[in-house]
Amino acid sequence: MSDDKKDLGDKAKEAFDDAKESAKKAAKEAKESAGEFKEEAKKTAEEFKEGLQSAGGDNKKILAGILAILFGSLGVHKFILGYNKEGVILLAITLLGYATTCIVIGAFFFWIPGVIGLIEGIIYLTKSDEEFYNTYQVGKKPWF
């Protein structure tokens, strides 16, 4: 009976050693794949950074147009294009509308900047890239 226990103990030790070796191999493979993932993530981040730095008129047109349609009442599209004074005006009108919602006049303050943003967003997106660049980035036309 003690030989059976000894054989069982040897088998358990061998199984433990095998499991230990398998764990070491798995850890090594995981480290290698993590290193590959790290390098790929760095490469992707660099590509994104380069693309962000080279964003020209095309990307500003699309970004400003979409933001004007979605958040036009807050004037976000004006800040994107560098029209800070006009952006503050739209934002102030919207905040005034929030402050006066209990009065009927507050509803008009909500609609006016929203409609302006919607119209400007549609105008931005329907212009050609060159026309948008010349009108809003070079010519600095702040409204419509």
Q: What is the DSSP string of 28-69?
A: HHHHHHHHHHHHHHHHHHHHHHHHHHT--HHHHHHHHHHHHH
> What's the structural domain count of the chain?
2
With cut-offs at 50, 70 and 90, classify the pLDDT of residue 51. Answer: low
Contact 72, 113 (CB under 8 A): yes
Q: How far apart are CA 126 and CA 61, in angstroms?
A: 10
pTM for the whole thing?
A: 0.55
Are 66 and 96 contained in the same domain?
yes
pLDDT tens digits, 88-115: 998 898 888 888 887 777 777 778 888 9
Are 50 and 13 contained in the same domain?
yes
Residue 144 resides in a domain? no
Are 116 and 63 contained in the same domain?
yes
The whole-number pLDDT of residue 100 equals 85
Residue 143 resides in a domain? no
Are 43 and 84 contained in the same domain?
no
Query: What is the domain range of residue 21?
Result: 1-54
